[in-house]
Amino acid sequence: MFTLLKSLHSKQVYLSEPVSFIAALAIAELLYKFHSFLLETGAFLATWFVLGAIIHTVAGWVLPKASAQDRT
């Protein structure tokens, strides 16, 4: 885990991952009641992964447009 975190250098990662983490944590806390730590942890990690992918994709659509507008 340390090596993975140390290899992340993208500014977008530092901005998007905390947002997706907090959203996934809130969803897991409010909705997931499996009465099993392992299942709830797996569901939380899957939710975090999906939200992170969505945020990364949306940011990829939005950020290039903003930088192209700044050039004109």
Residue 4 lies in a domain: no
Whether the per-residue pLDDT at 5 is higher than 80: the answer is no
**Amino acid present at 5:** L
Q: What letter would DSSP give residue 72?
A: -
Query: d(Cα 24, Cα 16) in Å, to the nearest integer?
Result: 12
Which of the residue ranges 14-18, 31-35, 55-59, 65-69 has the most confident prediction, judged by mean pLDDT?
31-35
Those residues whose C-beta lies under 8 Å from the C-beta of residue 54, and which sit 6 or more positions away, are: 20
Residue identified by tokens 């009641």 is 33
Number of compact structural domains in the chain: 1
As a whole number, mean pLDDT of residues 47-67 equals 81
Domain that holds residue 51: 38-66
Residue 49 lies in a domain: yes
At residue 35, the 3 state secondary structure works out as coil
Query: d(Cα 30, Cα 32) in Å, to the nearest integer?
Result: 6
